[in-house]
Amino acid sequence: MGELKVTPAPGKPGKTLLDDTLVLVMSEFGRSWASRRSDDTYNLPDDHHPYTSVCFAGGNVAANRQVGSYTPRGLGVPVDIIEENGQPSKRVPRAADAVTTALRIMGMGTHDFFIPGGYGEVVGLRKA
């Protein structure tokens, strides 16, 4: 990302390659939280669970934002989402929502793609 940020964009004075590039870092799984046993030792995690983290950076991404969180039990917290039918909702985001948000950041309209099982855009990540 450092190289993208310091490399001028050809034909775009004052812009860098990072302004034209979406960087997306996503894990396919998360790890369970360590839990305390009754004998005051810890049960260390070694399994996968369906929650994960995603990092968006670069062009058309709103700066300095954190959207979403986990509960103390490691469950996702609902966030604002615009569903594929255009209606606002509040729910825990899914992987399809991260992909949809990336596609929308890149300028695609919801009529330009289809994701089976439904999708929505996470609100607050795309520059207004």
Specify if 80 maps to a domain.
yes
Domain count, the chain: 1
**Can you tell me the distance from the alpha carbon of 83 to that of 85, in angstroms, rounded to the nearest whole number?**
5
> Is residue 116 assigned to a domain?
yes
Instruction: Show the CA angle centred on residue 74, arms to residues 46 and 126, nearest 5°.
Output: 115
In a domain, 64, yes or no: yes
* Tokens describing residue 60: 């058309």
Place of tokens 């899914």: 94
Q: Tell me if 127 is assigned to some domain.
A: no
End-to-end, the C-alpha distance of the chain in Å comes to 23
Farthest CA pair distance, the chain: 65
Residue 60 lies in a domain: yes
The answer to whether residue 29 sits within a structural domain is yes
pLDDT for 73 beyond 70: yes
Which tens digits make up the pLDDT trace of 3-24? 999 999 999 999 999 999 999 9
**Domain boundaries, position 105:** 2-122
In a domain, 46, yes or no: yes
Q: Which residue has the higher pLDDT, 74 or 1?
A: 1
Give the pLDDT band of residue 49 (cuts 50, 70, 90). low
For the chain, the average pLDDT equals 86
